Amino acid sequence: MIPGTKPQRIVIKIGSSSLTSRHGEISRKKLEKLTEQIVILKDAGYEIVLVSSGAVAAGYRKLGCLERPTSLPEKQAAASIGQGLLMESYSELFISHGYVAAQILITRSDFSDEVRYKNVRNTLNVLLERGIIPIVNENDTITIDRLKFGDNDTLSAKVAGLVDATQLIILSDIDGLYSADPVKNPKATLLERVNEITSEIETAAGGSSSSIGTGGMKSKIEAVKIAMASGILTFLGNASHKNIVVDAVIGNARGTYFKGNSPLSHLDQKKKWIAFHSGPEGEIIVHPTAKQWLLSKRQNLLPSGVVKVNGPFNKGSVIRITDTSGNEVGLGVVHFSSEELQPFLEESTQKMSDAPFIMDINNFVCHTDVLISI
């Protein structure tokens, strides 16, 4: 680190299979290896956020299950046991090196609600600025399926964007992204540098390679897309390789580096939240002239530009803007609920100069910025 410069923030995601033994218990040896590498980075001045899987895997045998549970109540009960065991081990190991760890449990709704989003961001910033290592996981003990991220790959990418990370490191039991599925095609080669996620890459992505973990290559590619769209350099590699974390940061690791080449660096936190985390609640269909106002002239959306409203949604909600052909124009925050908008739309003779605007252009993100599916 250069003296006087702002510390680089690194988000490290570690998968369940990389933390547990083949019997599903927490592997002390694997935890020690990971924490020692994080300590090296901390000693060098880096700020680290660890997104750690392993709660369900660590807890299900203590629950009396011989195999990883499939029912939601058993998963949540296993997570409630395993999360405590996991944090106890992390805390003990980091304290032995002079560092404090903090637990952050997050649900998808913590991102979709703007107030909670800001609260999580503020909490993480305080912890990082004080030299503490936040350990993040999804709150599996209370989260229902429709509110889940699906896997910690996606969570790690969203956290990386939340804290303005310079790099995201995703570690699991695979070496990186291959030109084809290496299990099915022995001629598949490891891709060391990727500048763009193409349709061929998405097609080649397979499922989970582990009975313990939940995320496969497909989920990792989706996470990489989120990080790349936020301009974050991302690395994907095998947690079992010696010094993988440190090598990934300095650019020497075996794996795949994905370039953070998005044009989204100009977006402020409000627009990043709209683009990637808000979870649109409804839809407004606009005619071609209104589409031009939004994209080219950067003007506010008026009632006269709206063809149809698909709700329900409340005042202040993020809604999807589409054209009459069904193409996405962008996302924005509306000043009226879907019910309140109807009277405005029925007043066809209303003068444009007198009409209240439905959406402020400053709270609009156009489709070219919304590079991923939310």
Tens digit of each residue's pLDDT (9 = 90 or more) over 36-81: 999 999 999 999 999 998 888 888 888 888 888 888 888 889 888 9
Q: Name the phi and psi angles at 212, rounded to 5.
A: -95, -45
pLDDT at 370: 52
CA distance 248 to 256: 9
Please say whether the beta carbons of 156 and 168 come within 8 A. yes
pLDDT at 212: 41
All structural domains of the chain, each given as residue ranges with its CATH number in brackets, are 9-266 (3.40.1160.10), 270-366 (2.30.130.10)
Predicted TM-score (pTM) of this structure? 0.81
Positive or negative CA dihedral for 40, 42, 46, 52? positive
pLDDT at 209: 46
Tokens 């497909």 locate to 218
Distances (CA, A) of 328 to 119, 202, 271, 321, 324: 30, 21, 17, 6, 10
Residues of the chain with pLDDT under 50: 1-4, 146-147, 207-215, 349, 351-353, 371-374
Q: Which amino acid is at 11?
A: V
Tokens representing residue 278 in the block: 């808000």
Quote helix, strand, coil % in the chain, to nearest 5.
40, 20, 40
Count of all residues that appear for the chain in the document: 374
Distances (CA, A) of 28 to 6, 20, 25, 31, 85: 33, 8, 9, 5, 11
Beta strands at 359-366 and 9-14: parallel, antiparallel or unpaired: unpaired
Sheet (strand 359-366) strand order: 306-310, 282-286, 318-323, 328-334, 359-366
pLDDT at 354: 56
CA distance 33 to 30: 5
The mean pLDDT of the chain is: 83
- Residue 249's region, left for phi above 0, alpha for psi from -120 to 50, else beta, is alpha
Tokens 């054209």 locate to 323
Please say whether the beta carbons of 306 and 284 come within 8 A. yes
